[in-house]
Each structure stands twice: as C-alpha cells, then as structure tokens.
Homo-oligomer: A and B are copies of this chain.
Amino acid sequence: MLSIGDLSRRTGVKVPTIRYYEQMGLVAAPERSEGNQRRYGRQELERLAFIRHARDLGFAVEDIRALIDLSGHPEQPCGHADKIAEEQLISVREKIAQLRRLETELERIASCCDGKTVGDCYVIRALSDHALCADEHG
C-alpha cells in the first residue's frame, strides 16, 4: 500500500492536489491506516495517472469526470469520449491561434522601441493607442 506521498511521487501529482481531487470526487476516498492516514493501491495509482495525463493535455476537471464515468462502462459506444477529445483539440487550436496573434503584436511592439525614455517608448505608446496595431487582436 502506498502513502499519499508515495502516490504523489509516482504520479507527479502534488499531495494537496490529491486530497483536493478526493474532495471533488475525482478519486474515491481510499482506505485508511490505523492512524487515519490514506493508503492507496494499484487502482488508485492508475486512476490518478489517468487524471494527471488528462490534465496535462488540458482537459478540464469536468471533462475528466465524464471520461472516468465512461471508462467505467466499457460496453458503451465511445462517441462521447471522442467528442470530448475533439472539442479539446478545437479549443487548443483556438488558443494557439490567439497566442500567435499576440506573439506577432508583441514582437512588433518590442522591436520597434528604440526610444530612450518612457516618453517616447513604443511599448507604452502602442499600448495607449490601439491604432498602432497592425492587426486585430483580442
């Protein structure tokens, strides 16, 4: 049996986060030692690794909850799981597109500044005046 610290080290999920997931119902409350400390087995390790992996991929906790529910019903059609992953992909692509626009704008702002004082700093001027932006953003 693993202590919460062991589980943390094995999954890379921090100890308070594991307790938080338990509180949120993402992981079941585990057995306890005589002294009331959490003791985990292989199943909990696997579930937490699943959660960690999904969080790394940017899935929201609610999505993860749905995916866990689905994984408990292996006979059901998997269209729902596909849909969640698909939507996550779309959302990631949107974020990338948005960040690329910001990158372009920030590059332009930072590279144009050749002023010596704040008074003629392009960074400050660009922020004050949206019209200086080449691009639409935000």
Q: Mark A residues whose CB is within 8 Å of B.
A: 46, 49-50, 52-58, 67, 70-71, 73-78, 81-82, 84-86, 88-89, 92-93, 95-96, 99-100, 102-103, 105-107, 109-110, 113, 115-121, 123-124, 127-128, 130, 137-138
The answer to whether A75 and B106 have CB atoms under 8 Å apart is no
**A contact patch SS:** helix
Q: How far is the CA of A85 from the CA of B103 in the complex (A)?
A: 11
B93:A110 contact, CB within 8 angstroms: no
Closest residue of chain B to A46, judged by CB? B128
Across the interface, do A75 and B124 meet the contact criterion of CB distance under 8 Å? no
Q: Is the CB of B78 within 8 A of A123?
A: yes
Contact status A106-B118, CB under 8 Å: no
Collect the chain B residues with CB atoms within 8 Å of residue A118's CB: 70-71, 73-78, 81
Q: CB < 8 Å: which of B52, B110, B117, B119 contacts A85?
A: B110
Set of chain B residues within 8 Å of A71, measured between Cβ atoms: 118, 124, 128
State in angstroms the CA–CA spacing of A99 and B97 once bound together: 10
Q: Which residues of B contact A123 (CB under 8 A)?
A: 67, 78, 81-82, 84-85
